[in-house]
Amino acid sequence: MRLAVFASGSGSNFEAITKAAKSGMINGSVEVLICDKQNAYALKRAEKLGVPAYVFQAKEFESKAAFESAILKKLEENQIELIILAGYMRLVGGTLLSAFEGRILNIHPSLLPAFPGLDAVGQAMDAGVKVTGVTVHYVDAGMDTGPIIAQEPLKIYSGDKKEVVQKKIQQVEHQLYPEVIQYVIEELSGRV
């Protein structure tokens, strides 16, 4: 299956997914990286991994629909079948949602519906919860609200620094996301 990853920042999940696809763990290939930030580190990773990357900056378009139509054109040119959001810091709008209905995934660093939105790890630690985790879900028009596909819990021990929890969360993400992507690919291919 032909995949597009969308990222705005570091792109560590993008790298993990691309490597999983290259190793055959995911029955698909990351054909393009779509990035909305010119200076995102994800772009450097794309270069190293040999994945074509395209930057679309929302401010250069007159509307969200125009912005997403430009992205959609690139996705169609590359015959993309599944969109993987990985640290894409933008709500997906109607143009992409209707073109890719049921074919957009996101990963979020909490056990949704707890702690949606920005800095989910910080939110969890401020709330004093002892278990947080990672969620992979289908994307709808809301913020971190689509149907949940999989979750993995992670314990927070007293005295854990935020950086430590953040690092453990990322390790969980890099393991979980490729597994769930492979599951969804099998499901979409009608083999489950």
Active site residues: 108
Residue 110 marked in a binding site: no
Q: Quick one: 77 or 117, whose CB is closer to ligand GRF?
A: 117
DSSP string of 115-136, one letter each residue: S-SS-HHHHHHHHT-SEEEEEE
Rg for the chain, CA atoms, rounded: 16
Q: Which residues sit at the interface with ligand GRF, rule CB under 6 A?
A: 7, 9-14, 86-87, 107-109, 173
How far is residue 24 from each of residues 27, 31, 182, measured CA to CA in Å? 6, 15, 10
Q: Quick one: 1 or 33, whose CB is closer to ligand GRF?
A: 33
Q: Quick one: 38 or 79, whose CB is closer to ligand GRF?
A: 38
In the complex, minimum distance from the CB of residue 120 to ligand GRF, in angstroms, rounded to a whole number: 8
Cα 26 from chain centroid (whole Å): 15
How far is residue 160's CA from residue 125's CA, in Å, rounded to a whole number? 9
In the complex, minimum distance from the CB of residue 57 to ligand GRF, in angstroms, rounded to a whole number: 18
73 contacts: CB under 8 Å, gap ≥ 6: none
Residue 191 marked in a binding site: no
Residue 11 marked in a binding site: yes
In the complex, minimum distance from the CB of residue 36 to ligand GRF, in angstroms, rounded to a whole number: 12
Closest residue to ligand GRF using C-beta atoms: 87
Residue 75 marked in a binding site: no
How far is residue 118's CA from residue 108's CA, in Å, rounded to a whole number? 10
- Residues annotated in a binding site: 11-13, 64, 89-92, 106
Annotated binding-site residue numbers for (6R)-10-formyltetrahydrofolate: 64, 89-92, 106
